[in-house]
Structure 1
Amino acid sequence: MDIRTPIGQAVFLVSISCIIGFGSNLVKGDAIPWIAPELEIADSIMPETESNDPVLLAISLTQAKNLFDDGILFVDARDDGYYTAGHIQGALKNAFLMELIFSIEAIQEKNVPLVVYCGDPGCGDSEDLAYDLQDSGFNKLYVFKGGWLEWSKAEYPSETDE
């Protein structure tokens, strides 16, 4: 590749920038992780709304049921077809992100706890959605790792849209 051409110069500059960026990240004491750490199940949860400190924790089935019983809003991160076939009672459907945000804001403020869940413990959509919601200003987020699979096996309140 000829570095004297505009394309060659662009490739050269991007390459040098990447090398410098990755290199500086490696030597920094507070480096940005290459892969986000997996959320661990919280030992305990405090769904108070007084503080604006951000919370993003994974929760167990028991913790999810306790939050459900406390009237905390649930958001289903699965696709429409799965949601329609069955979901946690009262859970909001994951639509387009902005539509979902407007739906949540019509019900509650951003500092009120939310539980996000997916299909099963191996599904990462709930974490992805939780991070998106966190980036949108929601600061009390709980990810129910067991998801619909554990909830339905426990025969907790659910509903369908069929």
Structure 2
Amino acid sequence: MNKKTLISIAITCSLLFGANLFAQTNLTKPSAKVQSMIDKYKLQVVDYNYAKAKVAKGTRNSAKALFIDARPNKKYKAGTIPSALNIPDTEYSKYVTQLKDVSKNKEIIVFCGGWKCGKSPKVGNMLKKDGFTNVKLYQAGEPEWTKRNYKEVDIAVVKGAQAKNAAVIMDARPYKMYLKETIPGAISIPDTKMSELKGRFPVHQGQKIITFCGGYKCGKSHKLAKKLLSLGYRDVSVFAGGMPVWIETGLATTKSASKIATKKDAPKKPTMTKNGAKIGSDEGSIDGEWLYSFIKKGNVPSFIQIVDVTAPEEYKSGHIKGSINIPAEPLKAKELYAKLPKDKTIVFNCTAGGRSIDAWTKLKDAGIDISEIFYFDANVDCKGTDCKIEVNEPIE
């Protein structure tokens, strides 16, 4: 056997090993627990290409199926599949009223925070119990969609990006409408002039971009978002509420002054807890980057206790080093609070942030003192105590 052949075999083995390792650490099918729920509720799972075809042009009136985001409202606001409505599994009865005029045979595709997330099969089952006959799951959900396509964001995201100058905001309406009134700081990129105005696009393809136009039925912002993706931009969102929602909220435009209190008028939020933890900008959150900096070094402050709220089998398969497991979902607020260590700053965590938010909200709604209780808004994928963590960007 000659030298070239040996090198070729070595490279092939290396690639095969790498692919196998990647497959082991990147879930591409439901976890055992989620699969058992899917089987029990007899739900069909669809893939990305199927979901993409059903999203169609991206607007609520053009989508070929009704998409339902089963995650907490905060996660939905931060970024969802275009056209989706929000029905959190923990607040189903409150949010399902949105479907009062929807035909029972309408195709509905439910999703949540990925392969390990059980919220979508739960909501799918609830919808079936309510008489909806064509319910499917896009179980890869928001994580896969966001990596491969543009997402839809709430007005809170746009306000935050505008205040921090953290995104390029693009008005996809005709130039005359832009001149008449627009969001302060937005640039004009009419969907009919995209090719002519490519020179106005950001130099760096990783730049955060938010497009908008004339509201939920307007497809211009979606066309612009798709064009940006085709050119290689990776962080593209659509503010589907657009100009109508911005004006209805009373926010300042290039034509009118703000009708609500400015940030300077609003009372300042505390930035640190009594124990010394750094508070995040979103209500109830710990500052994700601050906490992650300690987790990476393996020296989380002694006054902080990370509480993993996932099921015991999930915790056993992988968790942040030093965390303890208290499965929060089956517990009532007082039961959950009774199990928490006292005289510590509590930080809830899970795999994608949704169940952590649910646990924190449960305590808040029960009137429990949450001044030293927070959630860690991050995607956490652990094998043992070796964790890959991606901190989610705050809304505000």
Q: Secondary structure at the match of 1:98?
A: coil
User: How far apart are 1:37 and its partner, in Å?
Assistant: 6.6
Equivalent residue runs for 1:81-160 within 5 Å: 81-95=176-190, 96-105=193-202, 108-160=203-255
Counterpart residue identity of residue 57, structure 1: K
**1:78 and 2:98 matched:** no
User: How far apart are 1:157 and its partner, in Å?
Assistant: 3.1
Counterpart residue identity of residue 56, structure 1: Y
Mark the runs of 5 or more structure 2 residues left unpaired by the alignment. 1-48, 60-66, 70-74, 80-146, 256-396
Counterpart residue identity of residue 200, structure 2: S
- Aligned position for 2:162: 68
**1:33 and 2:53 matched:** yes
CA contact (8 A) 1:55 1:142 kept: no
Between the aligned residues of both structures, percent identity stands at 20
Q: TM-score, with normalisation over the residues of structure 2?
A: 0.28
Q: Over aligned residues, Cα RMSD in angstroms?
A: 2.9
CA contact (8 A) 2:57 2:222 kept: no
Structure 2 Cα separation of the partners of residues 144 and 33 of structure 1: 21
Mark the runs of 5 or more structure 1 residues left unpaired by the alignment. 1-29, 46-52
CA contact (8 A) 2:215 2:245 kept: yes
The higher-RCO structure (CA 8 Å, 6+ apart) is: 1
Residue correspondences, number = 124
Structure 1 Cα separation of the partners of residues 53 and 250 of structure 2: 39
User: How far apart are 1:98 and its partner, in Å?
Assistant: 3.0
- 1:51-97 deviation per Cα after TM superposition (whole angstroms, max 9, x unaligned): xx555110111222122222111000101111111001111101421
Q: TM-score, with normalisation over the residues of structure 1?
A: 0.65
Structure 2 Cα separation of the partners of residues 94 and 37 of structure 1: 18
Larger Rg over CA atoms:
2
